[in-house]
Structure 1
Amino acid sequence: MTSYDQPSSSNEEIFAENNNASTSLHSRCVATLKSPNSYTSSLVLAGKFLFTGSSDKEIRMWKRHQNPTDDDDDVVVAGKGAVKSLVVSADKIFSAHQDNKIRVWKINNNQNSGTQNLAHLATLPILSDRAIKYLRPKNHVQIRRHKTSTWVHHVDAVSALALSRDESLLYSVSWDRTLKIWSTADFKCIQSIENAHDDAINALAASRDGQVYTGSADKKIKVWGKPHGDDEKKHSLVATLEKHNSGINALAVDMNGSVLYSGSCDGSVLVWEKDCGGRAVAALRGHEKAVLCLGVVADLVCSGSADKTIRIWRQRCYSCVAVLAGHDGPVKCLTAASDCHNEGDQTSSYLLYSGGLDGDTKVWEIFVLPRK
């Protein structure tokens, strides 16, 4: 049974201020979703709802307010193992699963009750795609010494998903070392880049300019793209970014698509700027263990770590302005969104959602205040 509890201890309320910055930041945990039998492995926001994917194959929908009742949520169960990633496109949700599949869900709105529920639309690769590719030997690729599969299949856990800016393309990466591109219109796989990395691919991010970033246990970030205005061309390798000393677990791109953030097993977050030729211009250090997830909202960068903390960093000055402590296990996933903005006093407010291996999903309020 999943419950939604208010924080009971003061150690979940944090005030952090950076004396070198032009603003101060207040933050506090306002609520906790508890899942005693599993942990939240993925998160995504869609309008007034929060969708969570669990380590036990559940996708759960919650209303985004502080005191929902047990009747506020809707649950679907699919596949085997963890729901590794969730993305939203209009009235659809795409979910990546540990059973090597991608599933598509329709968000149905009930106008009378004001509620929503999820209905299964498809499982990728779809049957027609599999059948057509299976009949032609040239569509088969060798995945192990004595085993082949068609190139539309992921053959290991699908670790991350991302959407193109116009949401016409879905990108997926897997521990099978492939990057696949899908059409969101008909759910067909239109390209598969085999051996995109030398080891499992753990992270994925898509930029507004059409470039796609993949991060791997091989310590490399690869940049993929195709010529502008040429929809017929396939994605190909644009660049390889090498600076990390350990495997990469998380990637995030800022709203302008000009800055890439990458988190790795050594606890560091590297900052890559396009204006500087795609070089790493800063290393954000402070986490004591691996960085497992990243998120960007406005000019803040949030990093969740195996050290059980979330750090909030200022963009451009790249300083840590808050450390959120409250999880009793590694922070596996997070997402953030603007809450409101008061033009009168220039106070910005954000909501941050974090999922930990302790079985808790926490809701944090973050207030950025101008210094006097």
Structure 2
Amino acid sequence: MDFYGRNSLHGFMDEESHPPQSPPHHLSIRTRLDMYDQDLQFSPGRPSSPRVNPAVHSMFPPGSPESPWTLSPLQTPSPALLYHCIASLHRQEGNIYSIALSKGLAFTGSDSNRIRAWRQPDCTERGYIKASSGEVRAIFAYGNMLFTSHRDCKVRIWNYTISDHFRFKKITTLPKKTSFLMFPKTSSQQHKDCISCMAYYHTEGLLYTGSYDRTVKAWRLLDKKCVDSFVAHESNVNAIVVNQDDGCVFTCSADGSVKIWRRVYRENSHTLTMTLKFQQSPVNALALSTTFNNCFLYSGSSDGTINFWEKETMSGRFNHGGFLQGHRFAVLCLAAVEKLVFSGSEDTTIRVWRREEGSCFHECLAVLDGHRGPVRCLAACLEAEKIVMGFLVYSASLDQTFKVWRIKVMPEEKLCFDIGPADRSDSRTKTTMEYEISPVLSPSWVEKKLHGNHFQ
């Protein structure tokens, strides 16, 4: 999954502030959500299906002819899950490449030079930031700070406030104009190609950027300097995440590998600690799921699989726990919240996976199929409720639509199924043995690679 970025230099003041405008065993997971004729939908003129488990169905709002909710197919021992699309927008500004959530706002970056701010969850537009350089490939938000990458291979940092109106102010551009002009040819502060991903380490105030020039750079926000730059992969760096607990940096690439980097103690340099590689196809996305007692790393590949690793408590090593299969084509984006993992694919669907407490067992709870093009980016957040777990999922597709999904999941301990431990074990064994055919590489990815083009 490759994206082009064109080099062009702009001055430091190129924008102005605007007023409001697991155990190491392998599990192959097969889901049975592909047959949509089994979906139980509440839609006008269609009564609720008698196949719904009454004990589970009673935990949710009753179905009515006007209800927009979709009840996912019940698969013992899977829990019931309700979801529906609460907003769908179509923009005429090209593809949306990135989404970030913070302070009740959702930010989107696209082919346009406008970074738009939407109110959560209804996606009412609050305003936009207009930059002189468009094609915003990566966005990251933390508190009232917004980081954006642009076609000129630079990062802009913005401060924004929300009262009656959405207001913003540019803090700086990385690298700063002065430092780059002093060393135009030898400086390591300038990426040479598109900045595809960003991550922020809160404790140290370090911003990490990954690029198609194969490098990762660490920026210290205190003095706005690039404090380290290293060649991370043999091909494009597609995604980067940081573990906020220990500062470890995870990167993935079109070279098919995932790498773990650790900052050298009392220094700004970084050293490679592990290389994780279980497939030959490009790795497009990463997600990190951390709780009080465990840490899981997920990677999405162009062969349609999602590999995951569990961190050992004592050694800190990451052991391969298995892979999730269900997507037909390339996995382009991932998001993790609590024990849920959301995956967006070139097959136009979003899958919702849940990890079982205390194990590596995952199950697919639902398939969201509202998009008509590859799902390019995802963001998710918790929407707590009293009885069920609520989540908001924001997705953007190359069909140029931006959607918001509301999801309700019944906690595992609240569900009562007439199934014993032996049946549950047999079910897992059957699930593991049932999937023997690996997914194929995305046809469009293969075609573009054969013609030497980049996936857009």
State the TM bucket, normalised to the shorter chain: 0.7 to 0.9
Please tell me whether Structure 1 or Structure 2 has the larger radius of gyration of its CA atoms.
Answer: 2
Q: Which position in structure 1 is the counterpart of 2:420?
A: none
Query: Quick one: structure 1 residues 99 and 196, their matched pair in 2 at CA, closer, same or farther if it must change by over 3 Å?
Result: same
Identity %: 36
Alignment of 1:145-156 (within 5 A): 148-156=185-193
Q: Which position in structure 2 is the counterpart of 1:295?
A: 335
> Higher mean Cα deviation, 232-241 or 276-285?
276-285
Alpha-carbon offset, residue 367 of structure 1? 0.2
Distance in 1, Cα, partners of 2:77 & 2:107: 34
Q: Which amino acid aligns with 2:199?
A: A
Distance in 1, Cα, partners of 2:160 & 2:347: 35
Which sections of structure 1, spanning at least 5 residues, go unmatched? 1-8, 135-139, 141-147
CA contact (8 A) 1:165 1:207 kept: no
Q: Which position in structure 1 is the counterpart of 2:105?
A: 49
CA contact (8 A) 1:308 1:327 kept: yes
Q: Which amino acid aligns with 1:189?
A: C
Are 1:197 and 2:233 an aligned pair?
A: yes
Q: Matched residue of 1:83: which SS?
A: coil
Q: Which has the higher strand share?
A: 1
Q: Which position in structure 2 is the counterpart of 1:305?
A: 345
Alpha-carbon offset, residue 108 of structure 1? 2.9
Alpha-carbon offset, residue 14 of structure 1? 3.6
Q: Which amino acid aligns with 1:199?
A: S
Alpha-carbon offset, residue 165 of structure 1? 3.7
Alpha-carbon offset, residue 22 of structure 1? 5.7
State which of 386, 391, 402 in structure 2 corresponds to 1:361. 402
Q: Matched residue of 1:36: which SS?
A: coil
Distance in 1, Cα, partners of 2:135 & 2:395: 16
Are 1:351 and 2:392 an aligned pair?
A: yes
Q: Which position in structure 2 is the counterpart of 1:265?
A: 302
Alpha-carbon offset, residue 40 of structure 1? 1.6
Distance in 2, Cα, partners of 1:15 & 1:327: 18
Are 1:317 and 2:353 an aligned pair?
A: no
Distance in 1, Cα, partners of 2:279 & 2:113: 32
Which sections of structure 2, spanning at least 5 residues, go unmatched? 1-42, 45-67, 417-456
Q: Which amino acid aligns with 1:363?
A: V
Q: Matched residue of 1:271: which SS?
A: strand
- Structure possessing the higher relative contact order (Cα contacts under 8 Å, 6 or more residues apart): 2
Q: Which amino acid aligns with 2:372?
A: D
Q: Which position in structure 2 is the counterpart of 1:125?
A: 175
CA contact (8 A) 2:252 2:258 kept: yes
Distance in 2, Cα, partners of 1:233 & 1:338: 34
**Structure 1 length as normaliser, TM-score?**
0.85
Query: Quick one: structure 1 residues 268 and 67, their matched pair in 2 at CA, closer, same or farther if it must change by over 3 Å?
Result: closer
Are 1:279 and 2:319 an aligned pair?
A: yes
Q: Which position in structure 2 is the counterpart of 1:248?
A: 283
CA contact (8 A) 2:114 2:134 kept: no
Distance in 2, Cα, partners of 1:237 & 1:356: 34
Query: Quick one: structure 1 residues 254 and 79, their matched pair in 2 at CA, closer, same or farther if it must change by over 3 Å?
Result: farther
Query: Quick one: structure 1 residues 173 and 275, their matched pair in 2 at CA, closer, same or farther if it must change by over 3 Å?
Result: same
Q: Which amino acid aligns with 1:328?
A: R
- The CA RMSD over aligned residues, in Å, is 2.1
Alpha-carbon offset, residue 85 of structure 1? 1.3
Q: Matched residue of 1:130: which SS?
A: helix
Q: Which position in structure 1 is the counterpart of 2:373?
A: 329
Q: Which amino acid aligns with 2:342?
A: C
Query: Quick one: structure 1 residues 14 and 129, their matched pair in 2 at CA, closer, same or farther if it must change by over 3 Å?
Result: farther
CA contact (8 A) 1:282 1:318 kept: no
Q: Which position in structure 1 is the counterpart of 2:249?
A: 212
